[in-house]
Amino acid sequence: MIEDGQLDGSERRRRRRRRRRQPRGLLLLPHLITTANLAFGFFAIVQSFAGRHDLAALGIVLAALADAIDGRVARLAGTSSRFGVEYDSIADIVSFGVAPAMLAFAAGNLQVLGKAGWVMAFTYTVCAALRLARFNVSPGRYKGRFEGMPSPAAALMIATTQWFVSFLREEGRVIVDVPEWMVAASVVGLGLLMVSPIPYRSGKEIDLRHSFGTLVLVVIAFLLVLVEHSVTLFAILCAYALSGPVDWMWRRHTGEQLEEMPVAPAHVFEPPPRG
């Protein structure tokens, strides 16, 4: 999509007429969903401060659901805009940059590490902000892949880890307390995966209409989530977090190359799709 300043007068007038014909509620709906994303992220931060870590994890999961919906709603309604892209990124920084770092800091008891604890948690926030900024400039180098781990996936990794730990404690399983330095190192590792050049698969390439095997796997995963969401979601996010480095090392070993995206002309700016 080209910025309005680069359009001729007739094209700008056509866009204005098209927007005026759309119901105002339809124009606002994507922004309201993005606001819900932001609200859930703020909720997660508040719950982390209050010591209700499972509720904080729930806030991050709900923020991820809102983030997955708002862009699709905007595209279906034909209301995508540069403002929506920027607003979505700001909400994502709170929900997937600040909220997960606060949850890890509080639930992982990182305050016992002193300055090192909050610096390592802040490193995650910085990496998430850099990841989102890079995505706004360049969605990715390879077709059907993200460059670096998506920030919602990294945030969900932290949230589902909290749920998984709570599940083990509730079930009375024997579990060794994870040292604070290991929690901090894991948080930094997730941050580095976000800003790394390692390609990660995009969920948008999943074709449920023409791939029966993929549809079966999705249905099985959905049923397992219904049975025990804490374990299933944690396992799915762990597999996704590891899939990028494993796939990258396998391609280096086999020499297989990914299909690269065409490079857009330097004078044309096209904001990435929301969601």
Residue 191 lies in a domain: yes
Residue 217 lies in a domain: yes
Confidence label for 251 from pLDDT (cuts 50, 70 and 90): confident
Put residue 198 in one of left, alpha, beta given phi > 0 → left and psi -120 to 50 → alpha: beta
Q: What three-state secondary structure class fits 147?
A: strand
Structure tokens at 125: 């926030």
Residue 262 lies in a domain: no
Residue 257 lies in a domain: no
Residue 150 lies in a domain: yes
CA 71, CA 163: separation in Å to the nearest integer? Answer: 27
**Mean per-residue pLDDT, 101-106:** 96
Residue 245 lies in a domain: yes
Give the tens place of pLDDT for each residue, 175-213.
667 889 999 999 999 999 999 999 998 866 555 555 656
Structural domain range at position 247: 8-202+209-251
Give, in order, the Cα–Cα distances in Å from 57 to each of 37, 79, 104, 159, 230.
13, 31, 10, 4, 11
What's phi and psi for 201, nearest 5 deg? -65, 145
CA 159, CA 156: separation in Å to the nearest integer? Answer: 5
| pLDDT value of position 5 | 45
Residue 114 pLDDT > 60, yes or no? yes
**Residue 173, domain CATH:** 1.20.120.1760
Residue 266 lies in a domain: no
Overall number of domains in the chain: 1
pTM of the predicted structure, to 2 decimals: 0.81
